[in-house]
Amino acid sequence: MSLAQQISALPAPLLKRLHDRGFEAPRLARWAATLGVERDARNRLPGRVEPPAPDDIAAAPVEGTAEHGRHRERGLAALSAGEVALCVLAGGMATRMGSVVKALVEALPGRTFLDLRLGENAHLEALASRPGAHVPLWLMTSEATERPIRDALGPRLDGARCATFEQNVSLRLTPEGALFLDEQGEPSVYATGHGDLPDALRRSGLLARFLERGGKTVWIANLDNLGATVDPAILGWHLDHGDPLTVEVVDKVGADRGGGPVRWNGKRIITEEFRLPHGFDPGAVPVFNTNTFLVSAAALDALAMEWTYVEVEKKIGDRKAIQFERLLGEITAALEPRLLRVPREGLASRFLPVKDVPELERRRPEIEAIARARGLLG
């Protein structure tokens, strides 16, 4: 039976579930046809790739300077005008924390990651001087995290000030290109990555309603990076420079690895390290991407691009499965970014990722200090 026939034979409720979340059977068939042939060609950037130029990376405004004060006032004005939405990537399961929903893990005693993001949202609304101004909080969830997060939010989930929307899904394949079936003989559904955000956000209707109300900027950050709070001075810097996209980067330290900025055929982009051409030295890139983006809402709504879905091999039980994912940083191929180097140390740190329990335990003092300093604890 061909892959197309396998998909057509799936139960109608499953097909509806898939298509409601962006699944396209012809696209999966095209991917299946390249298995074992083009993985490296698909995953790596073609053409000329060079390190970023020295003047490609700007420094964040320093608190206490006139520049910082000027940008902060611009950012506060945008918050007060209701022109900013905070979009948090909350689709992940904390596989290294017991495979629970990461949003509901206690980042601090008695306070989950979700609690702290809600605290940030309340603090931002307090900063806005105009009565009634609010900063919408949008959480991009996955099928696995949507219901638990909605249950945790309860009545706060009003669709206006607080809302969730689900990312896309697809079906895993065997290395031979057939549907991968789990131990129960069912197709294996997975989320296709945080690059789903532009499509999923448009599908939700949240972006269109935000634009209708005069919304201008969407601030995107990882749930588990509690350093990446909305900073009025950085917001003002982004607005004052007038480009559709700003990406926060931090200096590499020691053996740091990760995606970062390069020049691709002369153009600034963000890319993952595994997408660099053979022979390119990642050490030539002095900073890496924090996955914090400030993007024009209008540009995000109008974004039209051909996404690269990278091929990834996964171990499901004792078997190999293939899935195709896209990465949010690739929006820089369509919207050339400004790159802003931000601090990663002390109370000014904007990079506090938490991937497992030991890292969370180690970072808790930093997280608590920053949460108190930035109003996340209410």
Q: What pLDDT digit, counting tens, does each position of 146-184 carry?
A: 999 999 999 999 988 999 999 999 999 999 999 999 989
If you search the block for the tokens 């003092």, which residue do you land on? 365
Structure confidence by residue, pLDDT tens digits, 308-326: 999 999 999 899 999 999 9
**Helix (H) / strand (E) containing 288:** strand 287-296
Tell me which of 3.90.550.10, 3.40.50.11540, 3.40.190.10, 3.40.50.720 is the CATH number of domain 3-373.
3.90.550.10
Q: What are the sequence ranges of the domains in the chain?
A: 3-373
Please give the Cα distance from 87 to 185 (Å, whole number): 36
Low-confidence ranges of the chain (pLDDT < 50): none
Q: What is the pTM of this model?
A: 0.95
Alpha helices in the chain (DSSP H): 3-8, 12-19, 25-33, 39-43, 66-80, 113-127, 143-153, 197-204, 206-212, 232-241, 297-302, 357-373
- Please give the pLDDT value at position 131: 65
Nearest CA-CA partner of 350 in 221, 259, 197: 221
Please give the Cα distance from 180 to 121 (Å, whole number): 41
Q: Do 164 and 103 form a contact (C-beta atoms < 8 A)? A: no
Alpha helices in 270-356 (DSSP H): 297-302
Q: Do 197 and 22 form a contact (C-beta atoms < 8 A)? A: no
- Please give the pLDDT value at position 258: 82
